């Protein structure tokens, strides 16, 4: 399996291997905040980066401004490979630390590079849709329909950026602050679905860890691109994927990058419960009402300025902070640490114990497990003699005191690329069919962990039935006669079950 710091294998292309690639990409975004992967059209994109890098480094500002004006769309210009308006740039901005061209289509080289990045980004959105249990094109269907109408600009844009060493150095020394001298290099989040970055230099981009607030270098080898989530994707997935906080740091020769930002078209309706196939009550209230792409942009413009406050980032925002405060208020802050036993569902299983601060919430525990095991948050389930399905801001000290028994967290990693798997089908009470690829030898616990992540299945409220018998979670599925291609029913529990 690949991680954000390792290029995804281009050999996982079909069948179960393609599903494994989708799971690996999802894991990278959840644990590292970004993906490194080979460019599908290396020659075209690399040539575009070189051409823009040479021109931006040598042309005077007046020439760049004239170029942007001259490239504005006119009725006489030829159509583009994407349809839409004729080739042209939308404008040129010069900042102390950064120069930026926002390009629709400039010349044919830029047009081909834009098309290549659009295709690769849309393919990644389709893979993420499958890994999240959505319809295969649930996310990519929110993009512009190609070819574009002749009188319509595309929603997605290509930004060509050149960063200078002096401005970026000032921005880095201030930790991503927001003075005029550092404008354009600050820590920020993009507002689209997905950003694809190809650059002239292998270093310079950094992504902030959601676990400890540290900055991780995104080092790209020749022929590679980086991808990370934007605010629209965070909203569309009900917060399951988080928008990456990223910045640019100094490089002696400067740095030119092509940043293609895949955005929701303004009239597309983004409905997280429908996309995830959840009932609205299973998502936080802020994600329950559908919004158009235009409404999302208005919401993000009001709530997420370009620069991100570094102090707010370090505080962890709303993820678990309310749970820690509640734990202290209920009188359990005097417990110095909590022990959490973790069972990692590999073959064979392995166990570890984590010591957590007394004020920790369930989300803190899941993050600690993700850091120790590389198993993402959504593939973890709390167990304490009976199944526990609770909000992530639940204080662990309060929960352990109430249950009166030690807490145990199960973590289900994805099968390795060479590990044999079996296909299990689960039929929901609403008739929906959910398919899983499980390790041969997997237990019912592993299936329940995945069901909670994929279908908002609640072990406390539903049960699994196979051949008329309730499935016990502990034994391997094979011991219960469940094998490749079998189907299980998900039923609501009744009083007394």
CATH classification code of 421-492: 3.10.20.90
The string of DSSP codes covering 199-230 is: ESSS--EEEE-TTT--EEEEPPPTTEEEEEE-
Nearest 5°: phi and psi at 453? -75, -40
Q: What are the sequence ranges of the domains in the chain? A: 15-315, 321-411, 421-492
Over the range 331-367, which residues count as b (16 or more CB within 10 Å of their CB) and which as e? ebbeeeebebebbbbbeeeeeeebebebbbbbbbbbb
Span 349-366, mean pLDDT? 80
Q: What is the dihedral of CA 463, 467, 471, 474, to 10 degrees?
A: -160
**Rounded-to-integer distance, Cα 200 and Cα 259, Å:** 12
- Where does the pLDDT of residue 316 fall: very low under 50, low under 70, confident under 90, or very high at 90 and above? very low
> Looking at residue 335, what is its pLDDT?
37
Cβ neighbours for 70, distance < 8 A, ≥ 6 positions apart: none
Helices (H), strands (E): how many in the chain?
13, 22
CA–CA separation, 448 and 442 (whole Å)? 11
Lowest mean pLDDT among 86-90, 131-135, 481-485: 86-90
433: which residues sit within 8 A by CB, 6+ positions away? 425, 426, 427
Confidence band, pLDDT 50/70/90 cuts, at residue 301 = confident
Tell me what pLDDT residue 299 has. 84
Q: Which two tokens stand for residue 448?
A: 């329940």
Average pLDDT over residues 146-174: 64
Residue 392 C-alpha from the chain's centroid: 18
* Interhelix angle 362-373/396-403, nearest 10 degrees: 100
Whether the pLDDT of residue 337 is over 50: the answer is yes
Cα 339 to its chain centre, rounded Å, is 30
Task: Look at residues 90, 112, 103, 137 and name the one whose alpha carbon lies nearest to residue 44.
Answer: 112
CATH class of 15-315: mainly beta
Of 4-13, 274-283, 309-318, 439-448, give the lowest mean pLDDT range.
309-318
Residue 279 has pLDDT above 70, yes or no: no
- pTM equals 0.58
Choose the weakest-confidence range: 171-185, 312-326, 465-479.
312-326
The DSSP code for 96 is S
Each residue's pLDDT tens digit, 70-125? 544 433 333 344 433 333 445 666 666 677 766 654 446 677 888 889 999 999 99
Q: Which of 295-299, 457-461, 489-493 has the lowest mean pLDDT?
A: 457-461
Q: How confident is the model at residue 139 (pLDDT cuts 50, 70, 90)?
A: very high
CATH 3.10.20.90 fits 321-411, yes or no: yes
pLDDT over threshold 90, residue 233: yes
Judged by average pLDDT, the poorest of 82-91, 106-115, 236-245, 306-315 is: 306-315
CA distance 391 to 363: 8
pLDDT at res. 178: 42
Q: Which residues contact 104 (CB under 8 A, 6 or more apart)?
A: 73, 80, 84, 85, 87, 88, 89, 90, 153, 154, 157, 158
Query: Mean pLDDT lowest for which of 224-228, 270-274, 358-362?
Result: 358-362
Per-residue pLDDT at 365 exceeds 70: yes
Matching fold, domains 15-315 and 421-492: no
Confidence class for position 194, pLDDT limits 50, 70, 90: very high
């Amino acid at each position: 399996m690949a991680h954000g710091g390792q290029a995804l294998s281009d050999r996982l292309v079909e069948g179960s291997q393609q599903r494994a690639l989708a799971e690996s990409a999802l894991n990278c975004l959840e644990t590292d905040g970004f993906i490194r992967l080979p460019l599908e059209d290396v020659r075209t994109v690399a040539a575009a980066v070189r051409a823009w890098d040479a021109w931006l480094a040598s042309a005077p500002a007046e020439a760049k401004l004239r170029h942007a004006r001259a490239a504005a769309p006119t009725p006489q210009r030829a159509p583009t490979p994407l349809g839409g308006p004729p080739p042209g740039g939308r404008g040129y901005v010069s900042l102390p630390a950064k120069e930026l061209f926002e390009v629709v289509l400039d010349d044919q080289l830029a047009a081909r590079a834009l098309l290549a990045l659009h295709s690769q980004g849309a393919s990644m959105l389709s893979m993420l849709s499958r890994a999240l249990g959505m319809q295969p094109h649930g996310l990519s269907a929110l993009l512009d329909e190609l070819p574009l109408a002749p009188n319509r600009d595309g929603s997605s844009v290509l930004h060509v950026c050149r960063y200078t060493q002096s401005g970026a150095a000032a921005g880095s020394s201030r930790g991503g602050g927001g003075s005029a001298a550092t404008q354009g290099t600050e820590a920020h989040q993009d507002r689209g679905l997905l950003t694809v970055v190809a650059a002239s230099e292998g270093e310079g981009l950094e992504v902030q860890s959601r676990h400890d607030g540290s900055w991780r270098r995104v080092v790209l080898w020749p022929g590679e691109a980086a991808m990370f989530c934007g605010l629209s994707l965070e909203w569309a997935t009900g917060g399951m994927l988080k928008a990456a906080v990223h910045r640019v740091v100094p490089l002696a020769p400067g740095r030119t990058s092509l940043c293609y930002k895949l955005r929701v078209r303004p009239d597309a309706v983004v409905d997280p419960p429908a996309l995830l196939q959840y009932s609205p009550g299973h998502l936080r209230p802020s994600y329950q009402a559908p919004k158009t792409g235009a409404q999302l942009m208005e919401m993000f413009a009001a709530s997420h300025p370009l620069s991100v406050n570094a102090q707010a980032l370090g505080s962890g925002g709303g993820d678990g902070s309310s749970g820690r405060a509640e734990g202290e208020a209920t009188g359990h802050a005097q417990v110095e640490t909590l022990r959490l036993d973790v069972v990692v569902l590999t073959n064979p299983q392995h166990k570890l114990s984590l010591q957590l601060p007394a004020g920790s919430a369930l989300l803190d525990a899941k993050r600690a497990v993700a850091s120790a095991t590389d198993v993402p948050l959504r593939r973890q389930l709390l167990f304490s003699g009976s199944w526990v399905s609770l909000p992530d801001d639940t204080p662990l000290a309060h929960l352990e005191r109430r249950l009166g028994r030690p807490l145990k967290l199960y973590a289900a990693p994805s099968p390795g690329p060479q590990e044999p798997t079996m296909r299990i089908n689960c039929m929901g009470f609403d008739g929906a069919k959910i398919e899983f690829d499980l390790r041969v030898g997997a237990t019912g616990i592993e299936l329940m962990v995945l069901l909670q992540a994929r279908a908002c299945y609640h072990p406390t409220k539903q049960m699994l039935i196979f051949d008329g018998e309730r499935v016990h979670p502990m034994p391997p599925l094979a011991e219960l006669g469940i094998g490749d291609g079998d189907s299980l029913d998900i039923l609501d529990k009744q009083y007394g079950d």
